Amino acid sequence: MPTNELSHSNYSTSPHHRLNSKNIWIISSIIAAIVIIGIVLIKIGFNEPLYSQNPTIYSIFKVITEFGGDYAYIFFFLLIYLTIDKEFAERIIFNFLISLNFTNFFKLTFQDPRPSTSTIEASYGFPSGHTTGTLSFWGYVALNVQEFESKRSKWLVGIGTTLLIILVPISRLVIGVHDLGDIIGGVGLAGFLLLLYSYWEPKISVAPWSMGKRIWIGVISGLLMWLICSLLLYWIHPSALWEQVEDMAQPAGLFIGLSITIPIEHHYIQYNPKALSVNQKIIAGTIGIVIGIAFYFGLSILFGLFPDTWNPIMRGVRYFLFAIVLGLGLPSFFVWLFEYLKKSNEKNLVEISTEDSTKDSRKNSEN
């Protein structure tokens, strides 16, 4: 039975997310080299999008760019969370949300317009959100590729994450919604935050905090990110306070919601995808992804009905509610579902056994 304290095993660090000094230097050098090369290219005049008017090329890269969109992240997060490794998925999503927070902050700080070729995006360009999102999400997975069990898994995950990290930013150039400076800014920001997170997160994971303390620390951290960034933006751009509060509400709502639900889930629900059978994983992954995406889509429609003046607060509430579904609703549902199916199966087996025993008794009586 769970105790009043979150057990050490629930949050203990594991080898798949430790970075040694050698890895840190290698990754830092790669990121620094990319940023330096990018700056040099920009300085000599190569800061234009690689916009392609070829319909086939445009369509291919338009599909690739969707791997850096909201629905793709929901799909892959739930796939990992519900069928592979719950704790690993939680670490991925918190790194992603921190990156999203600072991406929005710097977009609103610099207010850099997109290239003239951008016809499908209206927000600011620098830094590229698809680049920071892809590198923060898949970069964290790539850092842990050596800890996958089979050699084949290591190769598949390594190749897949590398292709996404490279192709999604390139796709933003090809479809004309970003210039090179936006991409380089995204690489630098996400790479820096990824290293910081990979260093500090294991230290936080092993802290012997109670469930309540973890919740309070998470909630306060999320609120501080929201309020401090909003106030800094107001100081920089005093005329756009509510726009800034609204844009910063998305990562804050998710961060706060997951900071509440994850400790509660670890303490009371204890959903464990590693203990599921293959069939159970298929059920959890399929149903969970459908429910998650449907709920996300439904909330966007529902909260779109509110007046625009409510957006700064309601945007945060919307993503907070979505976090409740992800962090508490889905694992609770599947723990109940699989327990119900198990009991139903046991009941059927007992009934079958009883029927067989009755038949055997009748045969013996007749003989």
Q: Is the pLDDT of residue 15 over 80?
A: no
Say whether both 188 and 103 belong to one domain: yes
Residues 74-85, mean pLDDT to the nearest whole number: 94
- CA–CA separation, 115 vs 124, rounded Å? 10
Domain match, 181 and 259 both:
no
Domain that holds residue 246: 209-348
pLDDT of residue 52: 74
251 CB-side CA count, 13 A: 26
Which residues, 6 or more positions from 218, have their beta carbon under 8 angstroms from its beta carbon?
Answer: 255, 256, 258, 259, 260, 262, 263
CA 44, chain centre distance (Å): 36
* Last residue within a domain, chosen from 178, 208, 238: 208
Are 223 and 125 contained in the same domain? Answer: no
Average pLDDT of the residues in 95-99: 94
Q: Is the pLDDT of residue 1 over 50?
A: no
Residue 355 is assigned to a structural domain of this protein? no
Residue 1, domain member (yes or no):
yes
More confident residue, 50 or 92: 92
What SS3 string covers 35-75?
Answer: HHHHHHHHHCCCCCCCCCCCHHHHHHHHHHHHHHCHHHHHH
d(CA 83, CA 282): 8
Residue 360 lies in a domain: no
How high is the pLDDT of residue 47? 66
How far is residue 125's CA from residue 120's CA, in Å, rounded to a whole number? Answer: 12
**Looking at the domain assignment, is residue 336 inside a domain?**
yes
Looking at per-residue confidence, does 344 or 107 come out higher? 107
- Whether the per-residue pLDDT at 90 is higher than 70: the answer is yes
Q: In terms of domains, do 104 and 2 share one?
A: yes
Q: Is residue 305, in this structure, part of any structural domain at all?
A: yes
Question: Mean pLDDT across the stretch 13-19?
Answer: 51
Q: Does residue 118 sit in the same domain as residue 128?
A: yes
In the numeric block, which tokens belong to residue 119?
Answer: 């016809």
Q: Is the pLDDT assigned to residue 101 strictly greater than 90?
A: yes
Mean pLDDT across the stretch 227-254?
83
Examine the domain organization and report whether 190 and 229 are in the same domain.
no
pLDDT at position 103 is 93
Tokens representing 218 are 């998470």
pLDDT in tens, 300-358: 999 888 887 788 788 889 999 999 999 999 999 999 999 988 888 776 665 666 665 66
**Integer Cα distance of 209 and 167 in angstroms:** 40
Selected residue with higher pLDDT from 327 and 245: 327
Shared domain check, 14 and 148: yes
Residue 16 has pLDDT above 60, yes or no: no
CB 135 within 8 A of CB 186: yes
Residues 172 and 46 in one domain: yes
Asked which of 208, 226, 258 is the last residue of a domain, the reply is 208
Q: Tell me the average pLDDT of the chain.
A: 84
pLDDT the model gives residue 82: 95
Which residue, 9, 5, 3, 12, is CA-closest to 205? 12
pLDDT exceeds cutoff 70 at 95: yes
Number of domains in the chain: 2
Of 151, 186, 208, the position where a domain reaches its end is: 208
Neighbours of 340 (CB within 10 A): 10
- Segment 33-44 shows an average pLDDT of 78
Establish if 364 belongs to a structural domain: no
Q: What band does 11 get if pLDDT is binned at 50, 70 and 90?
A: very low
Mean pLDDT of 168-195: 90
For the ranges 79-93, 110-124, 151-165, 312-326, which has the lowest average pLDDT?
A: 110-124
Q: Are 202 and 295 within one domain?
A: no
Residues ≥6 apart with Cβ < 8 Å to 205: 11, 12, 13, 91
358 in a domain, yes or no? no
Average pLDDT over residues 196-217: 87
Average pLDDT estimate for 98-113: 90
Has residue 13 got a pLDDT over 50?
no
**Pair 76, 190 in one domain:** yes
Please state the pTM of the whole predicted model: 0.86
Verify that 220 and 126 share a domain, yes or no.
Answer: no
Residue 252 lies in a domain: yes
pLDDT at residue 14 greater than cutoff 70: no
More confident residue, 151 or 174: 174
Encode pLDDT of 135-146 as tens digits: 999 999 988 877
- 199 has a pLDDT exceeding 90: no
Is 149 in the same domain as 242?
Answer: no
